[in-house]
Amino acid sequence: MQEEPKKTQKAHSTKIQVVALKALKKKVGKENAGRMEQGGGKGAASFMSPGDLADPMTDPHFVVAFRRRMLFPEPLQNDKHECQHKNGSKTCNIKHVADHGRHAVACQLGGGVMGKHDELKYVVGGWAKDQGKRPQYEQEIPKWNKLGEMDSRGRPKRAILDVVYWHEGRQACVDVSLVDGSELVGGGNPKYAIPRREKTKHVRYPGPDLYPFVIDARGRWGKEALAWAASLVRHLDEAEREQEIRRLRILVSNCVQTGVAEQIIAAGKTRE
Ligand SMILES: [Zn+2]
């Protein structure tokens, strides 16, 4: 029997994978297909195999993150179904049943969403430092201030950028943010959530100095986040470059999935 050339085999198996994935998405329904979409792409599941490049997640967080990735409607076992997020003495108490963690992730009470964003900022900045940059955090960039406009708390709008460093005589500004595209209220197409956020950031902070670093709460990376990371390791040889990008993917995945799992655990735990 004549051996099939390797290239053809690869093309053939890719084709089979595409068809199988399409069939699977059809089988799980539109909402879960959106969740699979946002949990796709390189690095989305890096928390599952950190190797020796990063510390693994803690077991309780890992179990929740894994169940969520496996599309369990209740990522937390024995969830109490009434959100226990707190802000001072106020408890959220909003009912959430089998919602794939939608409420817990979006719930603003107790500052969980901001917390996740904060940690991710330090992960991204820390990695930039490892690449020889000197990142500073939460820097005001006066050219983007809009002091004539008010923010949601009624204060003049100042442009505070997450990670800022000098590069070739310019200030490079990385704005880190999270979306939860597959849980959009109103059923918008999940796959537009990241590009839309990137665009919004460019409108708010115009010019070439802004790098939006957008990650979906299910793991997918924004194209601009990856382009920024690639630009910082361009000078390394191929093996080092791949290792550094892989390490960043693991650090980001661990950080985001730990944050998401923490939100879900805190929302569904037993009343104290
Ligand atoms: Zn809540």
Three-state DSSP state, 137: strand
Residue 63 alpha carbon to ligand 1 centre in Å = 21
CA 87 to chain centre: 24
- Element housing 211 (H / E): strand 210-216
Residue 103 alpha carbon to ligand 1 centre in Å = 6
Mean of pLDDT values over 86-102: 92
**What whole-number distance in Å separates Cα of residue 174 and Cα of residue 228?**
9
55 secondary structure, DSSP code: P
Whole-model pTM: value is: 0.91
- Round the CA-based radius of gyration of the chain to a whole number and report it: 20
Tell me the CB-side half-sphere exposure of residue 131, using CA atoms within 13 A. 26
Q: Are 75 and 67 in contact (CB under 8 A)?
A: yes
**What whole-number distance in Å separates Cα of residue 243 and Cα of residue 248?**
9
Residue 85 alpha carbon to ligand 1 centre in Å = 5
Residue 69 alpha carbon to ligand 1 centre in Å = 21
Residue 91 alpha carbon to ligand 1 centre in Å = 8
Q: What tokens appear for 188 in the block? A: 């918008």
Share of the chain above pLDDT 90, in %: 74
Of the two residues 1 and 244, the one the predictor is more confident about is 244
**What whole-number distance in Å separates Cα of residue 212 and Cα of residue 200?**
9
pLDDT per position as a tens digit, 106-132? 898 866 676 678 899 999 999 999 999
pLDDT per position as a tens digit, 173-186? 999 999 999 887 76
**What whole-number distance in Å separates Cα of residue 264 and Cα of residue 74?**
9
Share of the chain above pLDDT 70, in %: 94
Residue 98 alpha carbon to ligand 1 centre in Å = 14
CA 15 to chain centre: 28
Residue 60 alpha carbon to ligand 1 centre in Å = 20
Residue 102 alpha carbon to ligand 1 centre in Å = 10
**What whole-number distance in Å separates Cα of residue 231 and Cα of residue 131?**
10
Q: Kindly report the backbone phi and psi dihedral angles of residue 136, in degrees, each rounded to the nearest multiple of 5, phi listed first.
A: -120, 150
**What are 178's strand-pairing partners?**
215
19-45-189 Cα angle (round to 5): 60
Residue 99 alpha carbon to ligand 1 centre in Å = 12
Q: Are 128 and 135 in contact (CB under 8 A)?
A: yes
Residue 47 alpha carbon to ligand 1 centre in Å = 25
Q: Are 46 and 250 in contact (CB under 8 A)?
A: yes
pLDDT per position as a tens digit, 9-43? 888 888 888 888 888 888 888 889 999 999 999 99
Q: Are 91 and 104 in contact (CB under 8 A)?
A: no
Of the candidates 170, 112, 115, the one whose C-alpha atom is nearest the C-alpha of residue 143 is 170
